């Protein structure tokens, strides 16, 4: 297995001067921190890492103390939490990290699966934010064919130990990372952003982390719990998202009392990387209002 190396894949990592490594039980976290003011926790999605916030983080740090970790199984964070890479396990692990940092998030922002972790932390009492913001949130059970596809991937991961290497090899091909990202997300990001994803996809540990996370994801339970949320919630969704349809976002929103939904035209699943300025304004305005 190959692991992302801070001196190799991280040699010119975005916002590298903001990085630190933090130890908790069974975990060594890569965390980026910047700014001052109310604490804002950023949780990236499956297959990503802190590079996903490369342009958004500095904008938010003008008004907030921003904390952005690489989630377990992703990027430069190493180790496995006691609950594995399940949604509950990830939520508990992030809660333990924030306890170690002695920081309580006033706002939690999650992209895609990171939004599910944010809401799980709130529901399980692992954080008490004044607001939660989901960017292109992945919260509802996968419909149709996808419901059958994900268990197949999970079985392939555990039955065939070479599966992570196969996915990593695909990312090494010329242009494969850019083509994969555009097809799967509907987003077009800059060449530097594509290269950061390519570096991570080319390591089997990162790919294995993403696949293991998918195998353990329990969106059925989360969707049943959404009606219990009692803090202000904002969803920001790109209208051209090829991964999460707007119907899924609206279905989740219908379960959460008092939620607000903003749709950004012509942007995909990585809307916060395509238009960090527009997303930063929406996050900042909503956070300050609550």
List per-residue pLDDT tens for the chain, 290 residues long: 589 999 999 999 999 999 999 999 999 999 999 999 999 999 999 999 999 999 999 999 999 999 999 999 999 999 999 989 999 999 999 999 999 999 999 999 999 999 999 999 999 999 999 999 999 999 998 765 555 566 666 555 555 655 666 566 656 655 777 787 888 899 999 999 999 998 998 899 998 898 888 888 889 999 999 999 999 999 999 999 998 999 999 999 999 999 999 999 999 999 999 999 999 999 999 999 98
14 CB-near residues (< 8 Å, 6+ apart) = 50, 51, 53, 54, 196
If one counts every other C-beta atom within 10 angstroms of the C-beta of residue 7, the result is: 6
Determine the pLDDT at residue 74. 96
Determine the pLDDT at residue 285. 97
Determine the pLDDT at residue 119. 98
In the chain, where the domains are located: 16-144+218-289
Determine the pLDDT at residue 160. 61
CA separation for the pair 279, 262 (Å, rounded): 10
Determine the pLDDT at residue 148. 59
CATH topology of domain 16-144+218-289: Rossmann fold (3.40.50)
Would you say 91 and 97 are in contact if contact means Cβ atoms under 8 Å apart? no
Nearest to 228 by CA among 123, 131, 141: 123
Tell me the backbone φ, ψ of residue 264, rounded to 5 degrees. -100, 115
Determine the pLDDT at residue 103. 98
Angle of the 144-159 helix axis to the 163-172 helix axis, nearest 10 = 110
Determine the pLDDT at residue 149. 60
Determine the pLDDT at residue 214. 83
Tokens of 69: 């970790």
Residue 141: DSSP 8-state: P
Tokens of 160: 């065939």
User: How distant is the alpha carbon of residue 145 from its chain centre?
Assistant: 23
CA separation for the pair 54, 136 (Å, rounded): 17
pTM value > 0.85 = yes
Torsional sign, CA 78, 75, 152, 136: positive
- Rg value, the chain, Cα: 17
Determine the pLDDT at residue 216. 82
């Amino acid at each position: 297995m190959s692991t992302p190396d801070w001196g190799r894949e991280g040699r010119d990592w975005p916002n590298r001067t903001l990085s630190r490594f933090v130890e908790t039980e069974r975990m060594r976290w890569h965390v980026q921190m910047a700014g001052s003011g109310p604490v804002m926790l950023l949780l990236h999605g499956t297959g990503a890492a802190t590079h996903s916030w490369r342009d958004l983080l500095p904008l938010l740090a003008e008004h907030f103390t921003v904390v952005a970790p690489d989630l377990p199984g992703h990027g430069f964070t190493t180790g496995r939490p006691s609950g594995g890479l399940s949604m509950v396990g990830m939520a508990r692990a992030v809660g333990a990290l924030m306890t170690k940092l002695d920081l309580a998030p006033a706002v939690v922002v999650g992209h895609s699966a990171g939004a599910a972790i944010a809401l799980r932390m709130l529901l399980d009492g692992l954080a008490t934010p004044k607001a939660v913001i989901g960017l292109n949130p992945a919260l509802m059970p996968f419909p149709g064919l996808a419901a059958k596809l994900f268990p197949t991937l999970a079985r392939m991961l555990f039955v065939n130990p070479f599966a992570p290497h196969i996915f990593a090899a695909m990312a090494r091909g010329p242009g494969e990372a850019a083509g994969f990202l555009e097809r799967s997300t509907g987003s077009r990001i800059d060449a530097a952003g594509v290269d950061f994803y390519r570096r991570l996809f080319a390591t089997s540990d990162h790919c294995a982390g993403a696949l293991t996370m998918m195998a353990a994801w329990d969106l059925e339970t989360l969707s049943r719990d959404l009606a219990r949320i009692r803090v202000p919630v904002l969803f920001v969704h790109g209208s051209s998202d090829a991964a999460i349809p707007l119907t899924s976002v609206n279905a989740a929103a219908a379960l959460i009392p008092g939620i607000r939904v903003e749709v950004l035209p012509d942007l995909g699943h990585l809307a916060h990387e395509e238009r960090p300025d527009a997303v930063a304004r929406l996050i900042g305005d909503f956070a300050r209002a609550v």
